[in-house]
Structure 1
Amino acid sequence: MAAAALSGAHEDQDSAARSLRASDATPGDMLAAAGYLFVSPENLGTISGEMKEFFDRCYYPLLGRIEGRGYASAIAAGNAGQGAEAQIDRIATGWRLRRVAPSLIVRTGADTPVAILAPKLVQRNDLQRCRDLGRSVAMGLHLGIF
């Protein structure tokens, strides 16, 4: 999903969009960005541990320093997604970020132990929705809309 969103962001040749794993992202990376697209799986009703660790590590160093920047989120979930969405939104509210697009929640339907443990295949139309979101966020930033 993140790769598809980045692909969409790069449809505009002037896009400076880049993708970082949550474990590699630093407060400096966040300060250098004009906006953010947070992409995470939902695990047990919340964001992934790696994403949570990123927010824990970066929250206080960025507090009061990125206010007003735009953000959006894309979440891969079994049947829900709202738990991860709410968690991201609470953190973004603390940073005083501005949501610039509705959350994109891709539901895989995995709700049995076998399905949950199996590799997930994101459907073509959902990947297109990710590309569209990446393109929209990048274009909005490029045009100064957000």
Structure 2
Amino acid sequence: MSKRLLIVAHAPSQNTLALREAVERGARSETGIDVVVAAPLQAGPEDVLAAQAVILGTTENLGYMSGALKDFFDRSYYPVLERTQGLPCALYIRAGSDGTGTRRGVETILTGLRWRLVQEPMICRGPWQDSFVAQCEELGAAMAAGLAAGIF
């Protein structure tokens, strides 16, 4: 049975869509991994329960995560709480300023869920840089490779 990597990422602009597509491209570079991409408003607890790892992506909105990602957590938190402890996850943030409030907000929820960040959150900070795309592709590839190898 193949392992599923769920990507839940808010992509309200062309740049953030490019980041989400890069994460997906990187994840799909690994064979034997079922990659599912969902916008936060469409994803729900059933998607999380079917996954063996999750990549979360959000914009920085007023120093916090996007409302769409917060909505995903609001709808999914209690239905998955006792069933997904230790779930490997990664986070990337597209931050116009510094991203620390956004990171703190997501990490607080992940701590409550007892999900396990398998790498430092990636913050694409400041004015747009094309290097953000390559970094996101590497994030997707690393998560898929770790999942395929049974590292997490």
TM-score by length of 2: 0.85
Give the number of equivalent residue pairs: 134
Question: Percent of counterpart pairs with the same letter?
Answer: 37
- Equivalent runs, 1:13-32 vs 2, <5 Å: 13-32=31-50
CA positional deviation for 1:124: 2.3
CA positional deviation for 1:65: 0.7
TM-score by length of 1: 0.88
Does residue 95 in structure 1 map to residue 101 in structure 2?
no
Match of 1:82 among 94, 100, 115: 100
Bigger fraction of residues in strand = 2
Does residue 107 in structure 1 map to residue 113 in structure 2?
no
Structure 1 residue runs of 5 or longer lacking an equivalent are: 110-121
Superposed CA RMSD in Å reads 1.0
Match of 1:55 among 67, 73, 76: 73
* Runs of 4+ displaced beyond 4 Å: none
Residue 123 of structure 1 corresponds to which residue in structure 2? Answer: 129
- Looking at structure 2, the residues matched to 102 and 16 of structure 1 have their Cα atoms a distance apart, in angstroms, of 24
Does residue 133 in structure 1 map to residue 139 in structure 2?
yes
Structure 2 residue runs of 5 or longer lacking an equivalent are: 1-18
Write the deviation string for residues 13-44 of structure 1: whole angstroms up to 9, x where unpaired. Answer: 22211210000001000000001110000100
Residue 14 of structure 2 corresponds to which residue in structure 1? Answer: none
Write the deviation string for residues 88-122 of structure 1: whole angstroms up to 9, x where unpaired. Answer: 1111111111110111100133xxxxxxxxxxxx4
**SS of 1:84's equivalent?**
helix
**SS of 1:47's equivalent?**
coil
Does residue 144 in structure 1 map to residue 150 in structure 2?
yes
